[in-house]
Structure 1
Amino acid sequence: MDVNDKKHLCSPCEFKSKTEIATKWCIECKEPLCVSCYENHNAHRSSRNHHVISVEGNQMLESLQIPLKEYCEVHDQEKDLYCSSHCEIICLTCTQTTHGKCEPAVRLSDVTKSAKTSTFVSMLESNITDVIDQLRDIIRNRENNKVEIEKQKTEILDAVNKYRKCINDKLDQVENIITEDLNEKCESSNLEIDNNVNFLNDHLNKFDEIRKKMDILKEYASDTQTFIGARALEKTLHYNESMLASFLELIQNINIDIEVNQGIFDTCADIKSFGDIRVNKLDTGHCHLQKNKGQYPVDHQLKLSKALEIKIPQESFFRSTILSCIILPNKQMIFVDSYVRNKRLIVLNEDGTHDRNINLTSNHLISQ
């Protein structure tokens, strides 16, 4: 059998060499009990008031991994007494040594009888709930911050696209201007070339007509007629050649290019980015998680005679953050209000009426 399985066996039965599965666990006896032994255990005068839980419940308590009993390492014995003078759990030997001059110690079991319904446990549960709520709020805030970052990212990219569109629109405008200028100059140059071609074609026709007249003279005219006619055609030829030569001196090849505005490249070279992405970290406004110190079970000698409805006086519209409460020997109650705008002690009378406030500094709160 596995060693761990022995924990589930009834201890009294095992002592009798019997094997029975345990269903209960006695806190005081520190042993598991089967159904039959639990009934006997419950019927016995010395053990009927013991705190008995299920085996599963004891396993859950063990899984907490927190000390449920205090042990005095100085005197090597269990602490089972409570010193009301120091609000400290001590052992029997401690009452004769370090706590010899204190008020008589009482049994820890007497002090902790109503621990589950005590102010200390209630406040501790409330503080745990407050911390959990604060953490959940902070986690939600962090998640919301991520959503905000995504929105900011989209807004920045939209702004960049807007700037890019402005630049593109400006470039389109500049491109349209230079395109119109180019079309105009090309059209003007083509018109000039067309005029040149027309002029040259006219002279080509004139020279072709002179050639045709020369062919007719050679075919049909006499030698004398050919000579006289050729002399006349020569004058016409020289005249047209002179006109053509003068015209050709004016003809030039047309070349179209562009002189780029270097300012565009200079501007682009100077632009390293659309801007600088800055990460600004702002105070979230979350309050600091507050630790509760000096919280002890209420002194068994100081008990309220009746239930009270206590109303904490508010300072204008500020809320209160109550950390702890103590009861003085005169049965006045002191509440610690640590809210950052208050920082005070609230003193109430035994009947729950307000007595006075005592203002504190930050240093007072830290030293509590």
Structure 2
Amino acid sequence: MAASNVIMCGICDAQHVSNVANYWCPECDEGLCSTCKNYHSLSKASRQHGIISIDDYKKLPAEICKIEQKCTEHDKKFQMFCPRHDQLCCIMCVSENHKECTGMFLIDDVIKSSRSSTLFDSLEKSLKDIQENIEMVVKDRKANLDEIKQQHLKSLNDIKDKRRKVNSRLDELEKNIIDDLNSTETQLKLKIETLLDKLSTKLTTIELLKTNLMSVKQHGSDLQAFIGSKMLEKDVTDELKCIQNLLEDDGFSQLGMKCQIDDKVTDILSKITAFGTITIENSQSPIVIGVGHEMQAQIFTAVPTRSRSIDGITASLIGDIKVPAGPLNTCITGSSVFPDGRIIFADCYHNKRLIIVQSDGSLDSEIPLSPLLPFDVTCIDDKLIAVTICYDNKIQIIDTKTKQVTETISIGTSRGITYRQGQILFCEKGKGITEIQLSNYKVCTLVEDSTIKTDFSYITASGENIYYTTNGSIVKCYSIRGDKRWEYKDESIIMGIKGIAVDQHGIVYVNSNKNNCVVLISADGENSRTLLTAKDGIKNLYGIRLYTNKLNIVNFTGRIFQFNIA
């Protein structure tokens, strides 16, 4: 419902009484007069609703006010959110259209803290950065205009100075060169002024987005704040792309003019056919657009989590399956899960293949990579994967549908790899955690850590945190900006780590290969406990993956243990 000038009390209206609303209840999606507001605040069913004033409600963008509070198809309250379809779902939607979707979570877990989520901060920072970039370009372009004017004046003086030294034969030539000069200046000014007009329009758009963002953040309901932030995220992303596209605009180049007077102008009657030439000097602008990794990496929706103790976590065996055998002994060194639930394994040393299985263990497909040895693998989407290659110091991006390599990226010595929000993260021996932006394949270091001495370092990511293993017995947690969160080491239970996973609560799961156990580490890195041991039938572990509340553990020979986590 869009805000209008006069909003009537919904409760009074139902009683055929007309009273102007002074308040608005986003949960009930109707206005309230002062009297009804008091009853509304006392009712057990509605006392927890976040009521706002009508004036604040009218400040919300119209599209935010139109957000439905219930599923329009089934007329039931939204209960779940599906990340795969980016969609709110009622219980009927889940049963009818999202049976195969994974990673769904309760909407109540999100909306309670959506107003304080990192997305709002990221959007605010991005809008500010876009505005600063535009203002910087405007200032630079105006300076360029002044420079062009000075160049024009200098060239004009040079032309006239030469003109006074020759005879009347130069009149026509002087006119030609001045016309050429003026035409060139007009051409350059047009390019820059066209860009300035675009930038002025962009500034207006940015101001509107900032106003909408603050209104949603301050006055929207929790649900409106969550959905509104995602709606605004698309607009901000579009504005980011527009700023990046400035580099391709003719008006963004460092334009200039140069007038070159012919030394033989005094011999014009016999040899010279032109007074001179006007050329455009085009060089790279000295300013740098600050829309790079640091800004883009923060444009994502972080699902807030509730803390959970590691003491209450239990694992019950569902069953175990076997990776389909190859011609030689199976040697599983890495695994990942597709968004649709299929599992992919790196069968490294002998069979030199990637193998994809359904959740029941049945074969989906194989991708031979011989003579290359695939060590670890991560899923980018339903078909694209990234694979680290043993001893070849490179990562390959592979299309699992066509089984073709789409990109090969040279790196340092690396094994463990994971995917996060358009980025590939991997452990690089002797260097730290390295990132590859899939948009341009730019490589940069996120975390400097020279203590990574072994090839067998595994990595995963969740929200704003990166988790990785070093030297077989240490687990470290860093933010995506490279700030250290914590470090955990206890060789009495963790030795020879060959896999790492993290759940929605930030609890870390690691395979202790030498101790034949799975260990839990608390979200703050302070405590740990053993979850599974050799008594549960697991040994020689070489991979661990969480998929909703299912834990998959695979050993070196390709036996997959499946546990339900509660």
TM-score with structure 1 setting the length: 0.50
Structure 2 CA distance for aligned equivalents of residues 75 and 42 of structure 1: 28
Q: Give the stretch that moved more between structures: 35-44 or 286-295.
A: 286-295
Counterpart residue number, 2:444: 343
Q: How far 1:68 sits from its partner (Å)?
A: 4.1
- Does the aligned pair in 1 maintain the 2:119–2:299 contact within 8 Å? no
- Are the equivalent residues in 2 in contact too, given 1:95–1:105 (CA < 8 A)? no
Deviations 1:36-67 (A, max 9, x none): 22222122221122122222332232435686
The separation in 1 between residues aligned to 2:133 and 2:40, in whole angstroms, is 46
Following the alignment from structure 2 to structure 1, what is the Cα–Cα distance between the partners of residues 32 and 72?
Answer: 31
Q: Deviations over 1:231-275 (max 9, x none)?
A: xxxxxxxxxxxxxxxxxxxxxxxxxxxxxxxxx998247545432
Unpaired runs of 5+ residues, structure 2, are 171-264, 311-419, 426-432, 448-465, 468-475, 487-566
Q: Counterparts in 2 of 1:1-368, with a 5 A limit?
A: 7-63=6-62, 68=67, 79-83=78-82, 89-101=88-100, 105-167=104-166, 267-268=268-269, 271-284=272-285, 285-287=287-289, 289=291, 295-300=300-305, 343-346=444-447, 347=466, 349-350=476-477, 352-353=483-484
The answer to which structure has the higher strand fraction is 2
Q: C-alpha distance in 2, partners of 1:336/1:45? A: 51
Q: Which runs of 5+ in 1 are unaligned?
A: 172-263, 306-322, 329-333, 356-368
Q: How far 1:341 sits from its partner (Å)?
A: 7.3
CA–CA distance in structure 2, aligned partners of residues 335 and 26 of structure 1? 48
Q: Could you tell me which residue of structure 1 aligns to residue 530 of structure 2?
A: none
Query: How far apart, in 1, do the equivalents of 2:69 and 2:30 lie?
Result: 19
C-alpha separation in 1, matches of 2:49 and 2:434: 36
**In structure 2, do the counterparts of structure 1 residues 344 and 335 end up closer, same or farther at CA, with 3 Å as the change threshold?**
closer
TM-score when normalising by structure 2: 0.34
Aligned counterpart, 2:225? none
Q: Offset at 1:160?
A: 1.6
Instruction: Tell me how large the CA RMSD over aligned residues is.
Output: 4.7
Structure whose residues are more often helix by fraction: 1
CA distance in 1 between partners of 2:65 and 2:445 (Å):
34
**Aligned mates of 2:137, 2:76 — CA distance in 1:** 45
Secondary structure at 1:280 match in 2? strand
| Residues 1:65 and 1:152: Cα distance change in structure 2 (over 3 Å) | farther
**Secondary structure of the corresponding residue to residue 277 of structure 1:** strand
Deviating more after overlay: 91-100 vs 68-77:
68-77
- 1:192-245 deviation line (CA, Å, top 9, x unaligned): xxxxxxxxxxxxxxxxxxxxxxxxxxxxxxxxxxxxxxxxxxxxxxxxxxxxxx
Whether contact under 8 Å (2:166, 2:266) holds in the other structure is no
Compare relative contact order (CA 8 Å, sep 6+) and give the higher one, 1 or 2.
Answer: 2
Corresponding letter in the other structure for 2:477: E
Counterpart residue type for residue 280 of structure 2 = V
Letter in 2 for 1:353: K
How many residue pairs match? The answer is 237
CA positional deviation for 1:29: 0.9
SS in 1 for 2:24: strand
For 1:246, the equivalent position in structure 2 comes to: none
Residues 1:277 and 1:130: Cα distance change in structure 2 (over 3 Å): same
Matched to 1:282, the amino acid is: S
State how far apart, in whole Å, the 2-side matches of 1:304 and 1:152 are. Answer: 71
